[in-house]
Structures are given as structure tokens and as C-alpha cells.
Amino acid sequence: MLIPGAGCDAGYWGQVVDELRGLGHDAVLVSLPSEDDSAGLAEYADAVVEAIGARRDVVVVAHSFGGFTAPLVCDRVPVERMVLVSAMIPAPGEAPGDWWADTGHATSGDDDVFYNELTPEQRAEAEKYERGQSATPMESPWPLASWPEVPTRFIVLRDDRFFPADFMRGLVASRLGIEPVEMDGGHMVMMSRSAELARLLL
């Protein structure tokens, strides 16, 4: 189950889906109701749980802001593993809107930072998946009292300018207490290095 970040349709995972399916796996894109002002994190998790349906042996993969949704899913349905790809890591009771100041994140969010490493053609493709993002899910505290008891892996992207590698290494250590896996690539690595990312996910 492939979960996108904020203000994006999950279609930007499309090349990774093709790679995973080519390797014999069921890969599912899950778009979240990012433009719906009535939808908060609970509704985001609902969308993923509904997409999972009766599937078993599920691996939940989340990118960027999807890190606030994936653990909620893992707390509600049985999953084999959660993989976070340069994703936000929430703390209990932390509202997504507070995450930036709480973690000391100081990187600019302009498109050149977000889309670094993409070719002009890849960037044009990525921009097709941009959507509006409601402020509703940013305002409420993350509801879990602790991280769900599910095997968790984190992929740090060495060339990410939006969530820089050094910043993410520190956050993974302090909030998850695990050693991340690393690969080359910018924040939208699923579009620039889809085959490499798919192999790493497996």
C-alpha cells in the first residue's frame, strides 16, 4: 500500500507500482482526501484501511506527510511491516502543523527543493499529481500514545533537500530508535530512481 505526501495524488508512485508488479507483487496506490476540509488524519487512515480490504501480508509504505497516516493504519489492521520513505515521524500528541518547529526543521519548501534531482520531464510529470491540501489534518494532535508494534523501516534519501539526510538521521534515531537504510536520491526518488527504490522496498 503506497501512501503519498501532502497535497499530492498517489499517482506519483506509479513507476514504483509498475516495478513491484513486474516483480510479482500486488502494489496499490492510495490517494488521500487532501482537498476535503472535513477530512482529518482519521479519514486519511480510513482511506488506506478501505483500500487494504481483505488483503493479507500487507506492507504499508508512506512518503513525506504520509508518515502521519501510516502508523494509524498499522494500529487498526494487521500488517507485516511499515516502511517510511523520507517521511515525517510524529510524536504522541503532536499536531502535524507543530512538527516543523518541534523537530527544528528549517528547510525551504519551494519546488526547487522539493523536486531536486528530477529531470525537466520528470518534474513536469510530478506536477501533474499536485493537489490542494486542506489545513484540517494539520491542526489536531496525532492520536496514538506510542508507536504501533509493527516492524518499521526508514529509508533516508542522501540527496533530499526538503528533508535533508542529516536531519532525518537524527530524527529517526530520537523518535524511532532504529538504524535507517539509505539510498541516493532526492525527495521524489520514486520518480527519479523507481527501479532502485522498488528493489530496496523488497
pTM of the model: 0.94
* SS3 of residue 73 by DSSP: helix
Q: What are the backbone dihedrals phi and psi of residue 140, each rounded to the nearest 5 degrees, phi first?
A: -95, 145
In the chain, % of residues over pLDDT 90: 95
Query: How many CA atoms lie less than 13 Å away from 185 in the CB half-sphere?
Result: 20
pLDDT above 90: residue 99: yes
| pLDDT value of residue 106 | 73
Phi and psi angles of residue 74, each rounded to the nearest 5 degrees, phi first: -65, -20
pLDDT tens digits, one per residue of 100-136: 999 999 765 667 888 999 999 999 999 999 999 999 9
Could you name the CATH architecture of 2-201? Answer: 3-Layer(aba) Sandwich (3.40)
pLDDT tens, 166-199?
Answer: 999 999 999 999 999 999 999 999 999 999 999 9
Tens digits of per-residue pLDDT, 43-92?
999 999 999 999 999 999 999 999 999 999 999 999 999 999 999 999 99
Expressed in angstroms, the distance from the first to the final Cα of the chain is 13
Give pLDDT, residue 91: 97
CA angle 58, 60, 64 (to 5 degrees): 170
